[in-house]
Chains A and B, each alone.
Chain A
Amino acid sequence: MSVYHYYPENAHVVKSGDSSLLFHPTSVGLFHLDEEGQRILAQLEEKGSIDSSEAGTSFTPGALESLLGDLSVLNVVGAEISSPKAKKISVTGDDFPLSTLILNVTTGCNLSCTYCYKEDLVEAKDGLKMTYEVAKNSVDLLFSQGLITDPCNIVFFGGEPLTNLPLIKKVVDYAEDRSAKEGKPLTFTMTTNATMLTEDIVDYLDSHAFGLTISIDGPKAIHDKNRITTSGNGTYETVRRKTEMLLSRYRSRPIGARVTLTRGVTQVVDIHNHLKYDLGFFEVGFAPVTSGDMTSFNLTTDELKTIFTEMKTLGRHYVDEAIAGRNVGFGNLHQLMSNLYKGAAKILPCAAGQSLLAVDGEGDLNLCHRFTGSDLPTYGNVNTGVIDRPALNEMLEAAADKSDKGCSSCHIRGICAGGCYHESYAVTGDPLAPTYHYCDLLRDWADFGIAAYGEILKQNPSYFKNHIF
């Protein structure tokens, strides 16, 4: 065979410093691309095909053949004009049994942050508190899934979960007892606004090795814009005080900060600086706000662009420090580095509906914690102990099938996989609609990440072994 046709959706070249990397979208595999490789791919991009006999003197003997052989293996080139259809891979929950259960322990919160996406949010005193019976049935359901040796995780969510601490403690006791007796490895996680932390509570959480995330938006001026009490007062002073107390005592696991970026807030570098170096969080993760019906805090298109530009600036700081052997705790980029290092290719955007489900106060099973209280269907109930796997599997199969969506030829489909269901639902009303509003930004961000990866790989490859787990 001498004519090789190019399948552009299966290749993406990224410049990294003064060299190039070939990014393989399906597998998230990365390959070094030498000068000849770059030339061949440039020609394929331009002409759509290459004839191996036309090598002549422009390539070293055998180089064209072996490169085309490698590209055939990756399905970047082939004999047919269009690439063969991709094989369907099973994504159902039968192969990936439930291992993470999010318990919505209360719909009540002691704060009233403007942008909160929880559809069922109410004041703390009015919150629907999950009963112990529902919580216990949830634990029983979780323990019955998969093998007894499979590790599992219980996440406490809300509202503000600490407003129902008594329930959390009972669940921890029950679950740890079963875990010890049956040998099922178990971990706990929780996100909290930190305002209700006391030394006793912190020590309690530490003694059970909770993985904690604190919701905090940055320095006082930024944080107090949106993270307010029901009477409209800022919470920064309290949150800062509690955070300092927490970070001075907590030893079992590193603690991260979760930042929500809203209208007028684009200073990613400053916020990271404050939270990482002033307050001492191990890691900071940034989430542009999920816009729903309430639009007053939505980010404008320009602001989104600014945010990504700031993320790249912070990203360059991350790379410089990584080359020096340090992890600066920029959560978003660090996660991307981990995915690129391993070559973690995704068909689904997350584990929701697969190995992750959320339980609401009634005991119904939701796709994830963001959907509790929403109009989306539920998938079974912990009190009957039955997960509606057929319905979930149907939804997952539909989510994985990108054949009629723009995703099918997008070069970051293995990294994004269609984006957050809730993000899509909030913007379009359809959880399976890809988050098109982010596509360009994310592709750009991914290219930045690949280039950053290449630089760290060249100058300090041991960084990955030491900092990525």
Chain B
Amino acid sequence: MGATMKNVWFAILCVVGFVAEVSAKEFILTSARPNKLFLLDAVDGRVAKTYKVAGQTIGSWSIVPSKADGRVYVTTNNHETILGIDLLSGQEVFRANLSQGDKRVRSIYGMDVSSDGKKLYVHVNPVRLKRDSLEVMDNQVLVFDTNSGLDSVASEAHGVPRRIQGLMVSSDDKSLYLLGRDYHQMNLVTGRIVRDFPVGSWQVAARSPGEVGGHWMSFEYSDIQTQAVYSVHTDRDPYSPTAYQTGVSLLNRKTGEFKTVDFEYTADLIFATAASSRTPDVFGVYNSLVKIDSNAGKAVKRVPLEATYYTVNTSINGEEVFIGGGGCKVAAHDADSLDRIWGRDLPGCADQSFSWLRVVDLDEEMIVGLERKEFKFQSKYELIMEYVDAWNRHDVEGVLGYFSTSFTFEDLPMGMSARTKGELKKILEKTFQEVPDFSMIIERIHEGDSFVVTEWLQKGTASGEVEGRYIEHIPYQVKTTSVIEFSGNKIVRLSDNWDKEALMSNAKK
């Protein structure tokens, strides 16, 4: 019995272990100039895989992940080609060149795929190139069979209203939502518009038309596409801030429900928004990250960001909020507290520009050419982030592990220095004792060949002796600049510089 039970348990463990090994992992998809698509680990933002997209030279992409088959569809070649890439293998599996003959056809945003992955819908602006002029033709939604390989042509075309910039397939695959200045629902069998959702042409008493700046698609796990809507109260003094209203539109692709909710006066600009998959919250981003209660119609929390982010999306379980776009930064925040969990620069600080940020789940084990491997650093950047993690864990031995056997450490404002691990250990222990909630938040990493300069915030609540005075429980947050020199992968010099006055002035209060 014992042996048999052991075997059974062993088998069960194996099964459990096997299942655990193939459980899907959450990743973020974002792109950067000139031609890179990045798969980032949602847990810490590190690059898991880099795709080089043929023909891409700029930062304006549509990015459409297909849940059914692990593909992603992107625009490339100055919006004139649709490419389908298998995310696991990195292979090109679909290609449609939109321009034909004397027709130049571009898809400048507006693409989605059916839930079974079989049909791809692409919104296009065709133009006929004549000898001495251009003839603008009617825009359309083209339908492609995604199995048609590398030379695909559209199997159908639907005429659609003008000013469309986003597409979203309904959950039952029977309708296509067209997002533009107004939104529409189109029956995919008949091609007819069956419902209009006025925004730009809404008739609201004493209100200007609603304006939408663009459509950043983020509905993949919430099933709700949202967008900030701006309007003016025409019966108010135009010099009063209360005349300018920010709202958010929500369109549910499962239920077809649509509503627009006002939530604050327009003191802050919001670019993209994303709905939570878990709560009625909607998150908006630009120079701050804001959480909006779409039921109550209120902005309930806002945190400033250290840079501008264009795009936002929410994690599969709704517990995290991911931000990116614009420059080279990507970050994750806690959906409840809006505290930052991690923040990174993309490799080379390449700009994400105007492209969308999407969330996918993939079997990590099946990814070909997975870049992130345990304890193997691609660059100093990686190493620094590990080092910072150790600090934030207050892992003294962990931090020491990054230093060479002999090195120089100096904290200039505090006049502290250390040359051996023993000396440094004492400093570390003292720091973590005096500032029990000490944390490091990296803002920027500047990489050189053998050195790194980091700009970061040190944050915590300090108690202890500073310049002959004893302070107690003083919260502080100071910007710090560190120069870190390496020999191989080990630190040989660390020089911290920060504004002691900030701490002192707090202490004097």
Residues in A lying within 8 Å of B, measured CB to CB: 149-151
Give the docked Cα–Cα distance between A151 and B131 (Å). Answer: 9
Over the window 80-103 of chain B, the binary record of Cβ atoms lying under 8 Å from chain A Cβ atoms (1 yes, 0 no) is 000000000000000000000010
B14 CB–A CB distance under 8 Å: no
Rounded to whole angstroms, the CA-CA distance of A150 and B129 in the bound complex is 11
Q: What is the bound-complex CA distance between A151 and B102, given in angstroms?
A: 12
Which 3 residue pairs across A and B have the least CB separation, nearest first? A150-B131, A149-B129, A149-B131
Give residues in B with beta carbon < 8 Å to A.
Answer: 102, 129, 131
Nearest CB in chain B: distance from A354 CB, A: 16
Taking CB atoms, residues of chain A closer than 8 Å to B131 are: 149-151
The interface residues of chain A lying within 8 Å CB-to-CB of B102 are 149
* A185 nearest CB neighbor, chain B only: B102
Q: How far is the CB of B99 from chain A (nearest CB, A)?
A: 12
Contacts of A149 in B (CB 8 A): 102, 129, 131
In the complex, chain A residues whose CB is within 8 Å of the CB of B129: 149
Closest to A151 in B: B131
B135 CB to closest chain A CB (Å) equals 14
Q: How far is the CA of A151 from the CA of B129 in the complex (A)?
A: 13
Query: Smallest Cβ distance from B97 to chain A, in angstroms?
Result: 14
Tell me how far the C-beta of A182 lies from the nearest C-beta in chain B, rounded to whole angstroms.
15
By a CB distance below 8 angstroms, the chain B residues around A150 are: 131
What separation, in Å, do the CA atoms of A149 and B129 have in the docked complex?
9
- In the assembled complex, the CB of B128 is this many whole angstroms from the nearest CB of chain A, namely 12
State the Cβ distance, B350 to closest chain A Cβ, in Å. 34
> Residue of A at shortest CB range from B131?
A150
Closest to B102 in A: A149
Residues on B with beta carbons closer than 8 Å to the beta carbon of A151: 131
Tell me the smallest distance from the CB of A162 to a CB of chain B, in Å: 32
Measured CA separation A149–B131 after assembly (Å):
8
Chain A, residue nearest B129 (CB): A149
The contact sample of 5 A-B pairs, CB cut-off 8 A, is: A149-B102, A149-B129, A149-B131, A150-B131, A151-B131
Taken together as a complex, chains A and B put the C-alpha atoms of A151 and B130 apart, in Å, by: 11
- Complexed CA–CA distance, A150 and B102 (Å): 12
Closest to A149 in B: B129
Query: A355 to nearest B CB, angstroms?
Result: 12
Chain B residue with the shortest CB-CB distance to A147: B131
Q: Within the complex, what minimum Cβ distance (angstroms) separates B422 from chain A?
A: 74
Bound-state Cα–Cα, A149 to B102, Å = 9
What is the distance, in angstroms, from B80's C-beta to the closest C-beta of chain A? 15
- Least CB separation from A146: chain B residue: B131
The complex places the Cα of A150 from the Cα of B131 at a distance, in Å, of 7
Cα–Cα distance between A354 and B400 once the two chains are bound (Å) = 82
Minimum Cβ distance to chain A for residue B121 (Å): 30
Who on chain B is nearest to A150 by CB? Answer: B131
A169 to B102, CA, bound (A): 28
How far is B108's CA from A273's CA once the two chains are assembled, in angstroms?
58
Q: Tell me, rounded to whole Å, the shortest Cβ–Cβ distance linking A404 to chain B.
A: 33
Please name the residue on chain A nearest to B130 by beta carbon: A149
Query: How far apart sit A177 and B102, CA to CA, in the bound complex (Å)?
Result: 19
Cα of A151 to Cα of B132 in the assembled complex, Å: 12
* Chain B proximity of A97: nearest CB distance (Å): 12
Query: Taking the nearest CB of chain A, how far is it from the CB of B457, in angstroms?
Result: 57
A60 CB to nearest B CB, Å:
41
A211 CB, nearest partner CB in chain B, Å: 19
Distance of A66 from chain B, by nearest CB (Å): 33
Shortest CB-to-CB span from B22 to chain A, Å, is 50
Instruction: Output the least CB separation between B104 and chain A (Å).
Output: 11
Query: How many Å from the CB of B451 to the closest CB on chain A?
Result: 52
> Within the complex, what minimum Cβ distance (angstroms) separates B265 from chain A?
53
B131 CB, nearest partner CB in chain A, Å: 7
Q: Once bound together, how far apart are the Cα atoms of A149 and B99, in whole Å?
A: 15
What CA separation (Å) do A293 and B376 show in the bound complex? 95
Rounded to whole angstroms, the CA-CA distance of A149 and B132 in the bound complex is: 11
How far, in Å, is A179 (CB) from chain B's closest CB? Answer: 14
CB distance from B233 to the nearest CB of A (A): 48
Considering the chains assembled together, what is the distance between the CA atoms of A149 and B128 in angstroms? Answer: 13
Distance from A192 Cβ to chain B, minimum over Cβ atoms (Å)? 30
Q: How far is the CB of B437 from chain A (nearest CB, A)?
A: 67
A332 to chain B, nearest CB (A): 27
Closest Cβ of chain A to B53, distance in Å, is 25
Shortest Cβ distance from residue B454 to the other chain A in the assembled complex, whole angstroms: 53
Give the CA-CA distance A314 to B131 in the complex, in Å: 36
Alpha-carbon distance between A281 and B129 when the two chains are bound, in angstroms: 35
CB distance from B129 to the nearest CB of A (A): 7
A434 to chain B minimum Cβ distance, whole angstroms, is: 30
Shortest distance in angstroms between B172's beta carbon and chain A's nearest beta carbon? 44
